[in-house]
Structure 1
Amino acid sequence: MNAKRRIALSVALLTAGLASGQIVQNLSDDPASQLAQAEPTPTAITHLAAKSDAGLATPVTALPPPGLPVQALAPAETPPPSVAAAEAPKAASPLLAAIAVGKALKGAVAPALQSAPIELARLETPELPQPAPLAEPVPDVVANACPLTLDLAPQPGAMLGITLLAPCQSNARVVLKHGGLAVTAKTSGSGSLFLTLPALDREGAVSVMLPDGKTAEAQLAVPDLDAVQRFAVQWTADDNFQLHAFEGDADYGTPGHISAADPHLPPAGAPADGGFLTLLGDATVDLPMLAEVYTYPAKPGVTARIVVEAAITEATCGRDLLGETLVSSGGAVTVTDLTVAMPQCDGTGDILVLNNLAPDMKIAAK
């Protein structure tokens, strides 16, 4: 009797388990559509206690195929209320309860998720002031604001035409150097300087220096210097010398006498017909550097005699005069120091004459 009851109870539990598995499978595909079918009529269990031994032989109703609701094993009998009440909670398993809760939550959350979008408050962005336009870049012309240029040009008679442009150096003292010669000059109000310089060497290198230390250099070859001979004397400030040349048989004041008073300069751009004297240097600047350059005649057979004079004045008496002589022959330059011991000041008005231009020069009073 007990064995039969256990068998019947096992069959009922197996039937309920298969039904639950079928419900889970169906609800996994579509929980909403399967929920209605997930609540089948509780399977009727034969009340074994009320049956006689003969009724126990009744065959067990076959299980329905998967996917169909489980039918009552004994539709003819209605289970006692106690058994139905006990089995009803099993039909509403936790899985079915969770599905029902999920369905309810889905219905409650979906409208919330589909609610109208939240409109954010519009922030008013203040209008920023337009940036000021960038200033045009200033060209880097500081370095060229005060250009310094030196140009050389060939001139007849082995002369060099010099052009100096220094816009920021108006009325400025300029030191000009070439071939051992050093003289001062002065720029114009516009900072320009134009002069003609006798070439002393073939290279024709010339340099200038301004008061602020700026320098400029230029070079121009002088190929026709081989046919020219030159003699020069230079000094500084009050150490004054005078150069005299006597061509042929000339004497003081006669034709052929060449000096600062009558330099015999050829017309501009024209070749010289004889010897001539070039006066160099500006005596109006501070610490003037002066020179006189004599160019020998280019005519063959013409000779010239040269003397250097030093006047005895209050500025030169009683001291030594310092200077230099320069000889240019065939493009080669020889520079020699010149020192003259001047007489005392009681001889003011006299003139010292240097007759020989050799290294052992002698000074004689005139």
Structure 2
Amino acid sequence: MLTYTNPVYEDYFADPFVWEYEGVYYAIGTGPAEAEGMVDEVAPVVGVDSTKLRVFPLLRSFDLVNWHFVDNALLRPDPALGDNFWAPEVAYCDRQFYLYYSVGHEDKNHQLRVAVSDHPVGPYQDTGKPLVDPQSCPFAIDPHPFRDDDGQWYLFHARDFLDTEGGVRAGTALVVDRLQEMTKLAGDEKVVLRARSDWQRFLANRLMYGEIFDWHTLEGPCVRKHEGRYYCFYSGGRWETENYGVDYGVADNVMGPYSDAGNETGPRVLRSVPGHVMGPGHNSIVFAPDDKIEYIVYHAWPKNMAARQMYLDKLIWTPDGPSCEGPTWTLQTLDAGKSE
């Protein structure tokens, strides 16, 4: 039986997205250079032209437990777009792989883009245009492609809202739109979830868009359909603090309306364990090798807060909704769900 101890990959690896293709697992995430906007600084070190640089570390595993670095996945687009590359995810459709990601300058002017490859490890080539107009939406991050049972694809992501009507909080929150093509949105965006609770606060008295806000954050959407209902997992709060964790909203229709009622006291799927694991979040979900047991893959800080690393733990479906056995930091057995 396979065993593991979190983190399952020792190097910096934030926003992990894991998928399986032809019996092999792949993981793509935000590396330290992408997160900190140091992509240009990396180029001289490796001795390549920054316009030919590849970004986003990509890993491979044959058992979901042992991971190895393969290469960086994305051929860098126009450097004028920015040096911060965040939260890549990959979708497979019609024999092509589509890499969705955001790029921008620090905490502003982030736009959603998509790149294409014939192979899961790339290289991925940017299509040359944003998915959402940066003029009308100056901050869009964390794209998550979701395929429904009928084959239709949707794109969930996070964007900023400044209104506070109806008890919602100003800040980053979640929306969804239908993908008319894998590289084009239909333009029928719907709000998925807005922040409502104190634990989702990112920062009080934050200067944003020329005003001061009590800023709240919902980000990192990940959608799973379970027994006919749509569960949108998300991360809330401030990513570098112990209040950050994973919760979910649920809906009967993929476009909503979604409700995350019941989370007023904190995230219900993953939350920090002080002294052991801090700030678990930005998850993806994948099946174990038997295609029966689901695992939630996420990043978290170890107790020394040295780097965000990749963790995985078993996802459990209960009559009250999804939950998780983690975050764990001791020896675990990979549950493949095999029957005798």
TM tier, smaller: under 0.3
Computing the radius of gyration over CA atoms, which structure comes out larger, 1 or 2?
Answer: 1
Kindly indicate which of the two structures has a greater share of residues assigned to helix: 1
After TM superposition, the score normalised by the length of structure 2 is 0.25
User: Which of the two has greater strand per residue?
Assistant: 2
